[in-house]
Amino acid sequence: MNNPTNETLTDLKMTGLEKYVKVIQELQNSGLLDLNKLHELSYAEKNDIFQEILHWGVFGKRDLKALKTTPPAYNIEL
pLDDT above 60 (res 71): yes
In-domain check, residue 64 = yes
In a domain, 1, yes or no: no
- Into how many domains does the chain fold? 1
Contacts of 9-18 with CB under 8 Å at 24 or more apart are 10/78, 13/76, 13/77, 13/78, 16/41, 16/42, 16/45, 17/71, 17/76
The answer to whether residue 78 is domain-embedded is no
Q: pLDDT tens digits, residue range 1-49?
A: 455 544 444 444 556 678 888 888 998 899 898 888 888 888 888 988 8
Residue 60 covered by a domain: yes
**pTM (2 decimals)?**
0.66
Range of the domain at 47: 6-73
